[in-house]
Amino acid sequence: MNAAVQILDAIRSGKGTASKKDIKEATGLAWGTMCKGVDMLLARGYVLALREKPNGRGRPTVPLCINGDAAYYVGLDIGAAHTRAVVCNLSFQTVFMNETDTAFYTDAASFFDRLRALVESAITQARIERAKLRGIGVSVSGNVDFEGGVLVSARNFGIPWGADLPLAEKLGAAFGVPIYAMTTQAAASAAEYHFGEMAGCPNLLTVGLGVGIGSGVVSEGQLLISRPERPVGYIGHMLISGNENVCTCGFRGCLEAYSGGASLARVAKEKFPRRKDFTDAHAMDVLADEGDRDAMQILDTAASYNAAGIASMIQLYMPEAVVFGGGQCRADGYLYQKTIAGVQKILPRERLAHIKIGITTLGKYQSALGAARLVYEQEFGENKK
């Protein structure tokens, strides 16, 4: 990781007490490199030196802290159902958050108009100085070319393959700051790795159970980034034997073509046309919890498909933690509990003994937070082409 980002992380976790010696220990950087980095950050006003503390007979130590108000980052997460925006300061405190429905895609012009208005309103309502805005991170539930900053497709809300929407170019021109685009699950994994309950866990898997089924991977401390032609953690499109449903991607049998929130409602309608109360995945989850046999039947199959996909991801990446998120995840919900039970049935107990499994503590702004974090890393030269 970039030295400046490492130094800032060390200072941030020191909570106002980190000295140069502490930073050297935490980062493992050479003394000279670390001092150069700290000086640069002090000169830019990103870091403040606090009053010297006497240190016995040695030289007094100077505690360093982050100047939270020195820079701000917007994180925008365009999910299949909702679009969420956060504004974070340099201390990564969230100073603003907002949620709206994701509009079904009609054309590029209105898509960009809407995004610009969302960012504009976030900046205004957060009451930050415009000159202090340093970047906008955008995560999308779709295929993203992060190098070009292009949204290739997002079929869950109507953007067809090859639409190639120039996110970085359009938002960059409107706001005059760097734009970094990524997939929702890459952002979710970044958020968990830096801010979640399992922060710092070098091998981490995130699973999003929502309108689609997504997953993201941190392996040996490295966030694995998807390219449109070579996606990573493409769990939703794992082909599940016995699943005959056709996916938005065109294949038959993809996991999310059954277990995705939108698919579940469709499957239920076909199987139980008289059940008017099967309005969406959430309604079925509640009914299944109450013992409704039809709802249980639909969700049992969904859970078994989820479990097959998640167990395969665990076998592939050997994570120490699996963090769930997304609209279909309720800690005591029927589908979530059944999915976990399914994973536990497939994998041997010895393997599971070393894996922590739980629901994100970051809530529904998880990916927006991750998007803000990733554009912040970009400012110092991370994840560049």
Whole-number minimum distance, CB 16 to Zn ion, in Å? 48
Whole-number minimum distance, CB 266 to Zn ion, in Å? 14
Whole-number minimum distance, CB 254 to Zn ion, in Å? 3
The contacts of residue 61 (CB under 8 Å, 6+ apart) are 19, 20, 21, 52, 53, 55
Residue 231 is classified by DSSP as -
Query: Backbone phi, then psi, for 216, in 5-degree steps?
Result: -135, 155
Contact region with Zn ion (CB under 5 A), list: 32-40, 114-122, 172-180, 251-259:
251-259
Of the two residues 23 and 254, which places its CB atom closer to Zn ion in the complex? 254
Of the two residues 5 and 235, which places its CB atom closer to Zn ion in the complex? 235
CB 263 within 8 A of CB 210: no
Of the two residues 104 and 251, which places its CB atom closer to Zn ion in the complex? 251
Strand partners, 89: 72
Judged by CB under 5 A, does residue 161 bind Zn ion? no
One character per residue 96-135, x = contact with Zn ion (rule: CB under 5 A): ----------------------------------------
Site for Zn ion in 224-243 (CB under 5 A): 237
The correct pick among 247, 262, 307, 369 for binding Zn ion (CB under 5 A) is 247
Judged by CB under 5 A, does residue 201 bind Zn ion? no
CB 64 within 8 A of CB 23: yes
Of the two residues 254 and 303, which places its CB atom closer to Zn ion in the complex? 254
One character per residue 295-324, x = contact with Zn ion (rule: CB under 5 A): ------------------------------
The correct pick among 81, 249, 355, 357 for binding Zn ion (CB under 5 A) is 249
Whole-number minimum distance, CB 248 to Zn ion, in Å? 6
**Residues that contact Zn ion, how many (by CB under 5 A):** 5
CB 374 within 8 A of CB 140: no
Q: How far apart are CA 368 and CA 291, in angstroms?
A: 35
How many helices (H) and strands (E) would you count in the chain? 13, 15
Judged by CB under 5 A, does residue 254 bind Zn ion? yes
Sheet containing 94-101: which strands, arranged edge to edge? 94-101, 82-89, 72-78, 133-140, 179-183
Query: Backbone phi, then psi, for 183, in 5-degree steps?
Result: -85, 155
Q: How far apart are CA 32 and CA 227, in angstroms?
A: 36
What are the angstrom distances between the C-alpha of 341 and each of 4, 233, 352?
43, 21, 12
Whole-number minimum distance, CB 247 to Zn ion, in Å? 3
Binding site for Zn ion (CB under 5 A): 237, 247, 249, 251, 254
